[in-house]
Amino acid sequence: MVVLSPLGNLYILGQQVYHVVFMAIDPVCKMEVDEKTARWKSVYQGKTYYFCAPGCKKTFDTEPKKFL
């Protein structure tokens, strides 16, 4: 049985508690990026995209449709 705790990222499986971090995928280089700590972000058509570095953000911003 898996139960989502009220704390959001904690899951209980039997007597074990697991902390889960949900990662975004940088649409340019496909690296995993932690949404909570990402320094570079862009909003395109109402959705937020997260980037590993400023170069990926700049590349995305110039032609976002190419990476979606």
- Per-residue pLDDT, averaged over 42-55, amounts to 97
Q: What pTM was computed for the model? A: 0.73
Q: How confident is the model at residue 15 (pLDDT cuts 50, 70, 90)?
A: confident
CA dihedral 54, 48, 36, 29 (to 10 degrees): -40
3-state helix, strand, coil in the chain (%, to 5): 20, 40, 40
pLDDT per residue as tens digits for the range 21-35: 779 999 999 999 999
